[in-house]
Amino acid sequence: MRPTRGFFLIGFLSVGGLSAWPSWGAENPASLFTDICSVCHGVGGRGDGPSAAGLYPKPADFTDCKAMAADSDQTLFKIIKEGGQSVGRSTVMPSWKDSLSDDQIRSLVKYIRGFCKK
């Protein structure tokens, strides 16, 4: 790659902001989750992240298949996009609509489903 193209790419990424950051693409929900969700939800999705101890209600435990089965993918999508409040749950679960694209949120829903191993 010629050096000029490298410069162009860097400029594009910084203008694009979070959603254009390569390790945070919709195709890599694992690093998204670890970087921004695991402080509360825990790297393994158990709701035991470092910030969870001080929270009420506790962050959802994504490995609890029964509890997770009660919510549709659309509900999970809405909670992530617009916050817990949007479906009558806690405001402790933030809204991510300003920093994540719909594609990123969809891939996170799929990723979260993967924590439930029957």
Report the nearest approach of ligand HEC to the CB of residue 13 (Å): 20
Report the nearest approach of ligand HEC to the CB of residue 113 (Å): 10
- 63 sits near ligand HEC (criterion: CB under 6 A): no
According to the 3-state scheme, what is the secondary structure of 36-104? HHHHHHCCCCCCCCCCHHHCCCCCCCCCCHHHHHCCCHHHHHHHHHHCHHHHCCCCCCCCCCCCCCHHH
- 80 sits near ligand HEC (criterion: CB under 6 A): yes
- 92 sits near ligand HEC (criterion: CB under 6 A): yes
Stretch that binds ligand HEC, among 9-17, 18-26, 90-98 (CB under 6 A): 90-98
